[in-house]
Each structure stands twice: as C-alpha cells, then as structure tokens.
A and B are shown apart, each in its own frame.
Chain A
Amino acid sequence: MFPETTWSLITRLRKTAEHRSALTDLCCRYWRPVYLYVRSAWAKSDADASDLTQAFFLWLLEGEPLKRYAPERGGFRPYLKVLLRRFVGHQEVALKRLKRGGQARIVPIDDVAAVAPARDADPEALFDRAWVQEVVGQAVERVRRHFTNDGRADAFALYERYDLAGGDDGMTYASLAESTGVPVARVKHELSVVREAVRREIRSDLRQLTTDDRELEEEWRALFG
C-alpha cells in the first residue's frame, strides 16, 4: 500500500519518541500558518505571537485535541483551524504553562518576524495562504536543489523565468525561446519536465500530511484556490 503518512505515524505511536519527532515534523510544516493566524487574530507583537504559537503546539502535543481528531470526518488542516479558533479561550492558560516552563522549544523560530501580516487581514485566509506558500515554496526549493545537483540548472532556469518570475503576462514559449536561444520545442519540454517534478514533490509532500487519497485530492485542489 502507501508509505506511512506523518499523520498515521502520529496516530499509531502516541507518546513515544518517534511520535514526538513525527509531531515535531508536522508542527514545522504548520508553524508559519499558525504563527500568522495567531499574530493577525490577536494583533500580537512578534514575540507574543511566537510564544502563543509555541503554546498552541504544546497544547496540541500534550492535550486531548489530537486524540479527538477523526480523519474520516475531514482533513487535518481544516481541523487545525477549528483548534485555532478554540485556542482563543485557552491561550492564557497555555501561555502560563509555557512560562512555567521546562519545555524545550518545539521548532526553531527563524525569520517569521519578517512577514508581519496586515492588521485587518483575515486570519484564516492568511493561514491558508501561508500553507500554500509553505508547500509550494518548499517543493520548488527541493526541485531547484535537485536540478542544480543533477547538472540540469539550465532547465530550472527556464522554469524560473517562465513560471516563477510571474508578472509578465505577455511572455510566451516563443518569446522565451527567442530571448534564451533555446528552441521552442525544448522550452516546452523542459518546462513540462520541471513542472512535473514540482507536481510530484508537492503531491508526495501532501501525501505525508494527509491520511487518504480523498484528503490528498482535496488538499491538492485547495492549492489552486
């Protein structure tokens, strides 16, 4: 069958070291979305939002919410949003427990402060957008490394100019071919190869984060709007 997903690993191994590492992995993937949600929902400063995000994951890790998650009732990401909404009432308690302490940080906090959300942004929309960015951005990065290491940086460069550069609506395969001196047929082929690699990366990533095919397809569709 399918390789074990992060999620099924978590449900299988409650309270073991492996469980903890799988959960940490999951937290890493959702860290930015949660942070942005927390920060915009309660208009917190960066430091407070980071603490609250930390507290949220601790609450998630130790409390009941994860045990109550029933994959057949819906995807994990929507469930996480439900939990976030519910977290509002628990935040102070969670924060206190965090301060009382002893807990190691679950995830390192890097450059989150750089992405302060607008004050009036819808936290759920921010959450979803951050998630798309996380999934797509990381997949593109992996493909980039992959192509660079395999000596196919030129193919990725075409992809970068055509897809990633965005903005230029007027660009066609022909105009890209002309400006790079690569034949049109090759442009099309290389683009399709890189896009397929990105698609595969995203889907294998999503498979890790979902429990079944249905949820996978839902998440895949969710990426596109």
Chain B
Amino acid sequence: MPSSGDRPPHDSVVGALRGLAEHERQRRDVDLPERYRLGEVIGRGGMAIVHAAHDTQLDRGVAIKIMRDDLSLEGADEARFRREVEATARLRHANVVTVFDAGPDWLVMERVHGESLQERMQREPLAIADAAVLIEHVARGVQAAHDAGIVHRDLKPSNILLDADGTPKVADFGVAHLVGDVTALTQSGMVIGTPRYMAPEQIDTRRCSIGPATDVYALGAILYELLTEQTPHPGDTPLAVFDRIVREEPRPPKSLNDRIATDLQTIVLAALEKDAARRYDDAGALADDLARFRVGEAIVAKPPTPVERLRRTVRKRKGVVAATALGVVALTIALAVLLPKLGESRRTLGLWREVTTLMTQAELDEHRGALERARAGLDRGIAQCRAFLAEDDVADAHYFLGRLLRARGDDAEALAALDRAVERDATLAEARHERGFLLLARYERSLEAVLDRGHARRSAGATPPDVLERRHPAVRVLRRRAIADLSADVRDSNYVREIERRFAAAEVDRLQWRWENAERTHRAILDDDPHYTPSLVALAKLSIDRHDWAGAIGHASAALEQNAGLGEAYLIRARAALESRLRSRTGSIDPDPIRDDLDRAIERLPHNALAYRERGRLRISVADLDGAIADLTNAIERADGDAIAFNARGRAHVEANRPVDAVADFTEAVHISPEFGQAWAQRALVRATQGDTRGAVADARQALEVSPPEAGWNRQMRTLLAMLHAR
C-alpha cells in the first residue's frame, strides 16, 4: 500500500479506473447484478461499450456489453430484445459467442481473447484456402442460429471474433439489427453507415422478406472481400453503395484475383444472388458447399447459364429504378415503426410512404445532378398531397406537403402549409418541429440582411448577435419563434427520426449562441452517422459564425462529398471563400471556383436571395457590373429588406456611373439599417460628387457617428468633411 504522499503504483491506477467505470455505471442506473465486477473497457461501438468483467459467482472472466444510455429499449422493443436474447442465450455452438445473461441494457457474454475479423483483415490478407475454411466455420455457427429460428441480419467482419487459436465466433445475434432499426434512419430515410454487407432485400422490401438467405448474402459478401480485398459493391457513400447492391452484379472475384478457383467463385456468386430464392437456402447449405470445395468434391451451386447472364445484362440496363428502390429503404423501416401506431389511418400512412419515397429519390437525383428529375419527383408528391387534401383535410397531409415544399426549396409555401397543419391540429408537434427549420432559415436570412460582415471585417470583431437583435426586434422575434418550434416534443413521433430530433436540439443550442454545445451535439451525431449532411452543414454555419472561413469551407466540402446536390453547402463554401478573399486584402484568391459554387447554389436554390446577393458582390469585384446589378436586383426582389444587397447594388451603380440610382439604393440601405456606416459613407461620397454639399455633410457626419472608431472609411469621411467645409 502506498504511503501518503507517494505516487500510487500503476495497478492502483488501474483499480481506481475500474472503480470509476463501476461508479459511472451506477450513476447511469444500469441494473447490473452485483455478481459481475466490471473491468477495463475492451471495446466501444456506436451502440454500446464492452467491458472485460469478472463473474464472481462462477469465478470466470466474461465480457459485458452495456448499451449506451440513450439507446435503452422500452416496451415492445425491450420485449423483442429479451425474446431474441433468450433464444440466443440457448445457442451453444463453437462458432457462436455464448450469451450467459442479459438485462434491459446489458449483456453478459463469453470473453473472446483475440481480435475481430475486421482487425485481422486490416493486418494482412488471408490465404484463399484459409478464407474459405473460415467462412465455412462461421456459416456453421450462423446455421445453429438459423436452426433456432434466429436470423442475424447484421453479419459483418467486426461481428466475427477470432479466438486465440483463430476459431471464429459470431457475436451480436439479435442485438445489432434491433438497435439498427431504431437509429438507422437519417433525415429523409437513408440508412446509416455504409451498408456493405446488406442484402438487396434489406434495401428493397418488394423483393422478398428477410430470412436465413439474408445472412447467406452477408457471408457471401464477407467471403468476397476476404478473397478480393474489396467489397462486392464498393462505393464512397451509402447512396452509391445502395445503388449498386440493388442494381449491379458484383465483378467476378476471379477478375480481381486470378488465383481463386472457379468453383469457389461460383459459391461466392451464388451466395450473392440478388434474388434470395436463388441463393443457398441457409448458412448450412453454404457451409456444405464450401466443405465440398475444400475436399475437392463437386459443388452444388451452378454458375449462371448464358441466357441467365443475358437476362441480367438487360435488367442492369433497365436499371431496376435504383432510386425507387432506395426510397423503399425508408419504407422498410418506416413501416416497421409506423404500422402498429397508425392502424386507423392507413390512407395517411400510404401517403406518407409515397412522400418519403419521393423525398429520398429526389435526394439521390440531386446528388447525381439530375435536378429536373428531382424537382419533378417532388412536384409529383406535392400534387399527390394536394389531391389528398382536396378529399380529406387532415393536418398530417398538410405536414407532408410542408416537408415536400421545403425539400423543393419553396420556403414561403412550405411555411403556409405547416401553419395550416398546426391550425388544424395544434398537437401535431412534427408540424411545429418542421416549421422550426423554416423559421430558423428565415431568421438566418434576416440576420444576414442586417449583419454587415464587411463592417465586421474591418472592426476588431463581429457585432454580437444580441446587439444586432436589439436594433432589429423583428429578427429577435423570428429567433424566438424558431426556438419555440424546434423545441416541440417529437419524441413519440411517427414521422421524425431520432437523429432529426437530436439535430433540432443542436440547432436550438446554436440559436441560443451556445456554440460549443451545438458543435458537440453535431459532432456526436456525425460520430454515429458520418454521412448525416445536415450536421455537416450546421458545422459549416458554426464556422461562419466564428469567422473560421477555412473550417467552413472544410465542412461544406465534406457535406458536398456526401451529397453533391446540397445548394446550401455550395452557398456556404462560396461565402466563406469570398470572406477570406475579401479579408486577405490582397484578394488574390481565384474567383472562378467561388463563382462555380454560387452558380450551383442558385441553380439548386432559385428562391434564395443570399445566393444571388453573394454572386452579385463577387461580380462587382471582377468588374462585371451589369451581371452584378442583375443578381443584386434578384436578391432584393427575393428578400424582404436586405440592406447589404441595396448597399452592394448602390456600389455597382457608382462603378457604372449611375449616381442617381446609387443614391436611391444607399438610401434604401440606411433606411433598413440606420447603423450601416458604410452605406452612409458611400452616399456621402456620391452626393459630394453630385454637388449636394449639404446632403454629403449630413451623410458623412452620420457615417462617423454610427461607425466604430476603426472603420476603414472614417478617415475618408473626415477628409471629405474638411474639404466640403473649405469649399
């Protein structure tokens, strides 16, 4: 025992940490029986933390998985979880990780001393024969579950653990997919993560239902990767992978690794058949064929005949409307969640299915740059909602309409639809929640219209938002309304996903200037789902708020990598680049990429005044005055009172030698924003050149009064005043 004052030896630190882990668990109220003593953390996943632990009753080492506190299951889900766990706990197979005991949010399992197949694969590739034998064993373990009526549904290399002697053991039966159902959806229905090992029927439910063949597909996909070092359907984003799983045949493994035997290739491709009925019936059948291959017997699977190959080529050309299939992802899971709750309003549910499908499809179209098709799809949904409403004026349909209109970029109409939804059913929290996003966008636009970033550039820091709000009470009202709506309680919603709820909470933090909280939550969302673009966009906005232009460009680019159709991300990236360009004073950054981004933003957000305004400002800086005036006019028409757009157009008029128009615009600018020193200063200069000495003097004085001492035009104004007085 260390005496007082000594540094405790290392193992006491380990003991202290173990005690702290136990303490954390107690603080969180996880009801783990006392017989288990928690040890170090040995694994950490999206849904749970795995501790090494000791079962004091049986005196043996175990592994205990503790669910993350926000994922604890309740009600029907918990009952289902328990049923599955009980069934799994009865499984005894050398290739299955044994489950000993479980509670509502913990699971006691056999401790496997080794690495996961994923880690093993990353270390070095397996020999072909070893890979085939490994999957044969894994398939035997999975078959034991199939015999007990359990389908794994989420087989992947990280779920296959290798014991010290290399024996594979399948983990996470009946657990992963269940939690997956709860959290799998993002804003418009995308499944999280990259679904590399997911079978087509898990994506497109019209094909057939999920069963043992679903696990066969995953085993085939893992074997394919072991043999070729790439997944059967590679792609950078979930969208791309989905698309390929549903539509494309995998490349024959031999074309990637010519040492693979033809029979082994046939086995892999048979497991990866798109049509589940054409795959092995269950994991045991796959294992049997792998065993036949191992001992050199004739295998059961047959390669596709030439006719079959031709049929597939045709199907590939026709495309099987991948986008629709994608939409069905939303349905699969939405249905599972919705059906029990919405039994009485089947018609509304039917409409919602259409709407989610169309929105997902539109997102994919936008990503691919097919903007017209995306719009046409959304318009179809809008027409459907309107037809529905003509017959049945229910709040839910107004809400769906509002979502479609927002996706279409038509914020004014969307707001009206959501107002109607709230009017008809004040308890429809989803409508308020959705309206909150619109109010947030409107608030941001209003703030933009009064926030003089040019001013902020030249002064020590930005004008704090609260100061701006004091000057512009309407902006404050918008912010408060947005906060109120976004705080609507949608926890039990049929339409709003958990991730959207967390997103809204983070946005409320951002609206309340709790930037660190907002950033933390957005980052946590991205930890769970790196593809959730709304959070990437929000992080980009946070960077803009903090004048971290490089950060904004980085986040916006990351969002665009996920979905190249995000008009807002183009706009943010362009603005950040423009700000850093203006700030650098040398202005040496190439304007073309900024221009490209703004063009894309305008193409995608034709209603967005800010995009026009920024392009107008950019055009002034490259002396394209007519273009600038056209853009700024568009901006002015689309916004209600944008002082900066007026000020910018005034400047363009000055450059184009149209002083009267310039004075009119500066007048509008200072009328909207009386503290707009730069607009006062510019009007003073124009008036002076026009011989309006009195007006110029008044404007120059006003400019000096409202501007901060470090404003760039102050000296100019003092010189002007001196000259005019001399005159």
Contact = CB atoms under 8 A, between A and B. Distances in A.
Interface of A: 72, 111, 129, 132-133, 136-137, 140-141, 144-145, 148, 159-160, 162-167, 169-174, 191-192, 195-196, 198-199, 202, 212-214, 217, 223-225
A8 to B, nearest CB: 13
Contacts of A217: 520
Contact of A214 (B10, B19, B519): B519
Contacts of B516: 212-214
A140 B12 contact: yes
Contacts of B16: 136, 140, 163-164, 198
Nearest to B517: A213
B8 interface: yes
Interface string B452-480: 00000000000000000000000000000
B14 A170 contact: no
B35 interface: yes
Given A137-B8, A140-B12, A214-B523, A169 B37 contact: yes
Contacts of A132: 13, 17
B13 A214 contact: no
B371 interface: no
B54 A136 contact: no
Contacts of A137: 7-8, 12-13
Of the listed residues B12, B16, B23, B516, the one surrounded by the most CB atoms of chain A closer than 10 A to its CB is B16
A185 B7 CA distance: 30
A23 to B, nearest CB: 23
Contact of A170 (B12, B41, B56): B56
A28 to B, nearest CB: 13
21 contacts: A72-B546, A132-B17, A137-B12, A137-B13, A148-B4, A164-B15, A166-B14, A166-B18, A170-B59, A171-B37, A172-B35, A191-B19, A192-B23, A195-B23, A198-B20, A199-B20, A213-B516, A213-B520, A214-B516, A224-B40, A225-B40
Interface residues of B, number: 40
> Which 6 residue pairs across A and B have the least CB separation, nearest first?
A166-B15, A163-B19, A195-B23, A169-B54, A225-B41, A164-B12
A27 B98 CA distance: 48
Contact of A172 (B20, B26, B37, B41): B37
Nearest to A129: B10
Interface of B is mostly: helix
Contact of B21 (A144, A167, A192, A224): A224
B492 interface: no
A138 to B, nearest CB: 8
Contacts of A165: 1, 12, 15
B34 interface: yes
B84 interface: no
A72 B8 contact: no
Given A163-B19, A224-B41, A225-B41, A170 B8 contact: no
B551 interface: yes
Given A132-B17, A172-B34, 11 more contacts: A72-B551, A133-B13, A140-B13, A164-B1, A165-B15, A166-B12, A169-B59, A170-B56, A198-B20, A202-B20, A224-B21
Query: Which of A140, A173, A192 counts the most B-chain CB atoms under 10 A from its CB?
Result: A140
B115 interface: no
Nearest to B4: A144
A75 to B, nearest CB: 13
Q: Which of A72, A145, A165, A173 has the most CB of B within 10 A?
A: A72
A108 B517 CA distance: 39
Given A169-B54, A192-B26, A133 B10 contact: yes
A223 B17 contact: yes
B133 to A, nearest CB: 33
B12 A72 contact: no
Interface of B: 1, 4-5, 7-8, 10-24, 26, 34-35, 37, 39-42, 44, 54, 56, 59, 516-517, 519-520, 523, 546, 548, 551
B19 A162 contact: yes
B215 to A, nearest CB: 31
Tell me the dominant secondary structure on chain A's binding face. Answer: helix
A178 to B, nearest CB: 13
Nearest to B41: A225
Contacts of B548: 72
Contacts of B37: 169, 171-172
A141 to B, nearest CB: 7
A167 B59 contact: no
B20 A195 contact: yes
A164 B102 CA distance: 29
Contacts of A160: 1
Nearest to A194: B19
A72 B39 CA distance: 33
A133 B17 CA distance: 10
Contacts of B24: 199
A157 B351 CA distance: 66
A222 to B, nearest CB: 11
Q: Which of B4, B7, B26 has the most CB of A within 10 A?
A: B7
A132 B10 CA distance: 10
B13 A167 contact: no
Contacts of B56: 169-172
Contacts of B39: 169
Contacts of A141: 4-5, 7-8
Nearest to B10: A133
Q: Which of A111, A160, A217, A225 has the most CB of B within 10 A?
A: A225
Contacts of B546: 72
A70 B546 CA distance: 13
A139 to B, nearest CB: 8
A195 to B, nearest CB: 4
Contact of B17 (A111, A136, A162, A171): A136
Contacts of A172: 34-35, 37, 56
The residue among B5, B20, B56, B546 with the most chain A CB atoms within 10 A of its own CB is B20
Nearest to A221: B44
Contacts of B23: 192, 195-196, 199
A136 B34 contact: no
A136 B13 contact: yes
Nearest to A138: B7
Contact of B11 (A129, A167, A199, A225): A167
Contacts of B44: 225
Given A170-B59, A172-B37, A224 B17 contact: yes
A114 to B, nearest CB: 9
Contacts of B517: 213
Contacts of A212: 516
Contacts of B5: 141
Contacts of B34: 172-174
Contacts of A111: 7
Contact of A166 (B4, B11, B20, B21): B11
Nearest to B519: A214
Contacts of A191: 19
Contacts of B14: 166
B443 to A, nearest CB: 24
B15 to A, nearest CB: 3
Contacts of A164: 1, 8, 12, 15-16, 19
Contacts of A72: 546, 548, 551
A223 B7 CA distance: 18
Contacts of A171: 37, 56
A217 B517 CA distance: 12
Contacts of A192: 23, 26
A172 B55 CA distance: 10
A140 B39 CA distance: 18
Contacts of A144: 4
* Residue of A133, A202, A217 ringed by the most chain B CB atoms within 10 A: A133
Contacts of B4: 141, 144-145, 148
Contacts of B519: 214
Contacts of B20: 195, 198-199, 202, 223-224
